[in-house]
Structure 1
Amino acid sequence: MTPDPALREALLAAVPSLRAFAISLSGQVDRADDLVQDTLLRALSNLHRFERGTNLNAWLFTILRNLFHSEYRKRRREVEDPEGSYASRLKVQPEQGARLDFEDFRNALAKLPPDQREALLLVGASGFSYEEAANICGCAVGTIKSRVNRARFRLASLLNVDDVEDLGPDSMTRAALQGTG
């Protein structure tokens, strides 16, 4: 079934946000791209289940999140590089300060509990409302607010951010730590 042009455009417009969320969840660009592709394939094959007039992005993010968690459950027993020795040899140190700040942010984000990281990424980085994020995660709005708040405080602590002046210049860092984009 081929979607109508407006729906096709909406699906294509969602790809960058889906990709950013998938990268944040998986930590790997290639794996994230596969997740986005699988999300779009699943969405297209289940287009008849999408209720027109509802939030298409929330529906797509839910599909992506469910795919990620299903894949995670399948792979959690796989061990490719248990001590990280191979991965540590592949690292290239960044040359610019912004790149270092981003890496610090990414590392701090990875240290958050998965539920807090997910809530923060949905609300802070992807721009979903608390209500939309709660629907995507299948929990109460208050739970999402609490997770986002705890995640922001933990990130600020991990990054040694005491004041707004300590925040990096990029909008993603500001949105994650302050709640503004």
Structure 2
Amino acid sequence: MVELIPALRAFARSLARDPTEADDLVQETLMKAIANTDKFQPGTRLRSWLFTIMRNSFSTRCVKANRERPGGADCVSALPWTEATQHWSSELREVMTAIRTLPRAQREVLVLVAMLGIEYDEAARICDCPIGTIKSRLNRAREQLRLALEPPAGNRGPRS
């Protein structure tokens, strides 16, 4: 399990937009996995099992959050923010923003397949859908990212 923590953190950060919430999601996933080790079926992939636990935990959190609706959010001005001084940092932020705007199902598949290198069949098991759906979601996610990140028609030079 310890070897899979970096992959779990990457997947959690694609689901939860706040890094602290993502870390909590990883911790919750590991706690649930340890508490339910008797339910793990030998011969199956541990990574798929953990990602499924995480995805289900995140979905449960979303349902609860929509139902409970806490009071006013913390003031945005209190959050630390520093403007990027390097070009690559600015571009990375653009890419991450574009990824965050993708529908959740497409974002999940993009992270699983394109970023974490998970095979289509394993991603299909994690997302509980057919392989064709995984390929379709990945294709749509890539196309939406391409459209979001390409420069305007009259400005085809390098982005700045």
The residue that corresponds to 1:87 in the other structure is 76
2:55 to 44, 51, 65: 65
Give the percent of matched residue pairs that are identical in Structure 1 and Structure 2. 43
The residue that corresponds to 1:141 in the other structure is 131
Q: 1:73 is matched by which residue type in structure 2?
A: V
SS in 2 for 1:52: coil
- What is the 5 A alignment of 1:144-159? 144-159=134-149
CA drift at 1:76: 2.2
The residue that corresponds to 1:25 in the other structure is 15
Sort the Cα spacing of 1:80 and 1:103 in 2 relative to 1 into closer, same or farther, 3 A. Answer: farther
User: 88-97 vs 151-160, which deviates more?
Assistant: 88-97
Structure number with greater CO (CA < 8 Å, separation at least 6) is: 2
Q: 1:87 is matched by which residue type in structure 2?
A: V
CA drift at 1:113: 1.0
Structure 1 gap ranges (5+): 1-10, 167-181
Sort the Cα spacing of 1:134 and 1:33 in 2 relative to 1 into closer, same or farther, 3 A. Answer: same
CA contact (8 A) 1:131 1:141 kept: yes
CA drift at 1:89: 5.9
CA RMSD of aligned residues (A): 2.1
Alignment size in residue pairs? 152
Sort the Cα spacing of 1:113 and 1:19 in 2 relative to 1 into closer, same or farther, 3 A. Answer: same
